[in-house]
Amino acid sequence: MYELEQVGANSFYIQSPAKIGLFRLNETDVCLIDSGSDKEAGRKIRQILDRNGWRLKAIYNTHSNADHIGGNKYLQGQTKCDIYAPGIDCDFTNHPILEPAFLYGGFPPKELRHKFLLAQESQATPLTPECLPEGMELISLPGHFFDMVGFRTADDVVYLADCLSSRETLDKYQISFIYDVAAYLQTLERVKEMKAALFVPAHAAAAEEIAPLAQYNIDKVWEIAEKITGLCREPLCFEEILRQLFGDYGLTMNFEQYALAGSTVRSYLSWLKDSGRLEASFEDGRLLWADRRL
């Protein structure tokens, strides 16, 4: 873990729970794509930089989930590097309490206020194409989170952030986190058509061909959608839908899973309603969801 892998003339990644990209700007200066999950990740990145005689100039965050921005504060304090984050995710990076609050739908209990969901604050500025070093391209990858992006480097390595999960992760957890299901599917269809010397997803193995894994993720989205629609043959409230999904998939409920899977299931319900497959009604003080085709 935290081993440096060279994948292009100037492109690298650091093997970690969420892969960290590294691009060499010249013989001494580098930039990072994300920063790991916490201060300890930041320390290990700093050790890699020091061993290679590299100076960190900037961190480009793909999005603001805590496992991608957790090393920001430490590295910025140590190196005075610039930090850039895209769109709404820039606000979440500067005010990370927004992530657990958004996921929970209110002030998060202490079980959600930890480093897995709540990074330390860092000082980020908005990420635009003009902020990028020469030869690096910004790729819009919405769906998983608000304004998530990826990057293509000058040596044709594409860093895909969290726009897809490994087969093993999907088979184990089933319900991967998605903010906007429609945008997520559109992103995966675009990724399926991409060509590159190498693709580096944050939570799957680096690969020269990404289309098969993108399709596996697409198929899983439709599987979850069909399962939710099937559960709603009779009107159900959100909590009952979530309970049955956890039971059917053999998942364990805790605060983290309630927040992450619960937020995702709400996103599915919104998408299915807006696309005409489910209808919503209020009865006896409850919001009920039902298959409108029955």
Q: What is the DSSP string of 54-80?
A: -EEEEEE-S---HHHHTTHHHHHHHH-
List pLDDT tens digits, range 50-91. 999 999 999 999 999 999 999 999 999 999 999 999 999 999
**pLDDT value for 142:** 98
Residue 294: the pLDDT is: 67
pLDDT > 70 in the chain, percent: 100
Q: Provide the residue ranges of all domains of the chain, joining segments of one domain with +.
A: 4-141, 232-291
pLDDT band at 1 (very low <50, low <70, confident <90, very high): confident
Q: Which pLDDT belongs to residue 293?
A: 81
Look at the pTM and tell me if it is higher than 0.75.
yes
Residue 63, C-beta contacts closer than 8 angstroms, at least 6 positions apart:
85, 86, 89, 144, 145, 146, 147, 148, 149, 161, 162
Q: How far apart are CA 102 and CA 281, in angstroms?
A: 24
Give pLDDT tens digits for 201-229.
Answer: 999 999 999 999 999 999 999 999 999 99
Question: What is the average pLDDT across 244-251?
Answer: 96
Task: Convert the pLDDT of each residue in 94-121 to its tens digit.
Answer: 999 999 999 999 999 999 999 999 999 9
* pLDDT, average across residues 161-168: 97
Cα angle 102, 104, 107; round to 5: 85
Average pLDDT score over the chain: 97
Return d(Cα 137, Cα 128) in angstroms, integer.
10
Mean pLDDT, residues 224-246 taken together: 98
Rounded-to-integer distance, Cα 236 and Cα 116, Å: 31
Q: What is the dihedral of CA 62, 68, 74, 75, to 10 degrees?
A: -40
Task: Write down the CATH number for the domain with range 232-291.
Answer: 1.10.10
Q: Give the percent of the chain with pLDDT over 90.
A: 98
Q: Let me know: does 201 contact 160? Beta carbons within 8 Å.
A: yes
pLDDT at 275 over 80: yes
The dotted CATH code for 4-141 is: 3.60.15.10
